[in-house]
Amino acid sequence: MAASQRQGTTGRSPVPVGAGAGDRRSQGGHISVEPRINERIRVPEVRLVGPAGEQVGIVSINDALRLAQEADLDLVEVAPTARPPVAKLMDYGKFKYESALKARESRKNQAQTIIKEIKLRPKIDPHDYGTKKSHVERFLRQGDKVKVTIMFRGREQSRPELGFRLLQRLAGDVEELGFVESQPRQDGRNMIMVIGPHRRKSEARAERSARDPHQGERAISRSRAAVAVAANAVAAEAAEAAEAEAEAAEADRDEQSADAVEVVARPQPAASASAAGRGSAPKAAAEG
């Protein structure tokens, strides 16, 4: 009765002893996505596939490990949810390396969609409008999306139809290259519209490469020339620094030699006085 009263008071069901620790253990931990290989496969039997893709059949795990050891290969579990699980004989290190290369190539071939932004004013000058439109056309030819923003200031915010008509005009001028992906919408003081290209970025890149097959070679040559210019600049700076150090060392040597000559040429006062005294004594004796 007391337990039921406590349960009704708190609104919670009694928790078994030790259930919290088990729940914490089940929630934590790292889930590995790597397939199980060799001795990590803990099933009694597997459906074995040979290294060339041939079907060996259902064998015990010990026989599969023995075959893998004889062929100097790894036993990799490729389909753990099958009954029995499917395992294949392969060089697992080589398989991982080739998989990484394929993933890298696929990422390299994927074209990332970039959204360019163009900002306009409702009362834009015709010449400025032509310049902005040329930028939009260039972005669409490259296969990029364009986000067109109309910025309203002051009393222009009470005339949103000006920005709407301007966006409609721009969409009509570039309809051969793109389409309106997001209709004009008001966003605070701005009005935004997104124009998407008719063709993908990879197609535009392929067309540019076909039209100019030496584009890659020129890019490589430009990068090499830039590296050579940088190396020459570094070498010139090093030569100038070495020349400055040599001039400074030579100036120090000249200054030291000049100081030494001045010390040698300077007369000794005591010696000159004694010499003068010795010379005056014989003269006085001769006069006497």
Span between the terminal Cα atoms of the chain, in Å: 153
pLDDT of residue 169: 93
119 or 282, greater pLDDT = 119
Q: What is the pTM of this model?
A: 0.40
Question: Given pLDDT bands bounded at 50, 70 and 90, which one contains residue 259?
Answer: low
- Specify whether the CB–CB gap between 193 and 180 falls below 8 A: yes
Hey, what are 265's tokens?
């040429």
The predicted model gives 86-105 an average pLDDT of: 88
User: Domains (ranges, CATH) in the chain?
Assistant: 38-92 (3.10.20.80), 115-201 (3.30.110.10)
Residue 24 has pLDDT above 50, yes or no: no
State pLDDT tens for residues 140-181: 998 889 999 999 998 888 999 999 999 999 999 999 999 999
Q: How confident is the prediction for the chain on average, in pLDDT?
A: 78
- Specify whether the CB–CB gap between 177 and 140 falls below 8 A: yes
Alpha-carbon dihedral angle through residues 243, 245, 247, 253, given to the nearest 10 degrees: -150
The amino acid occupying position 218 is: R
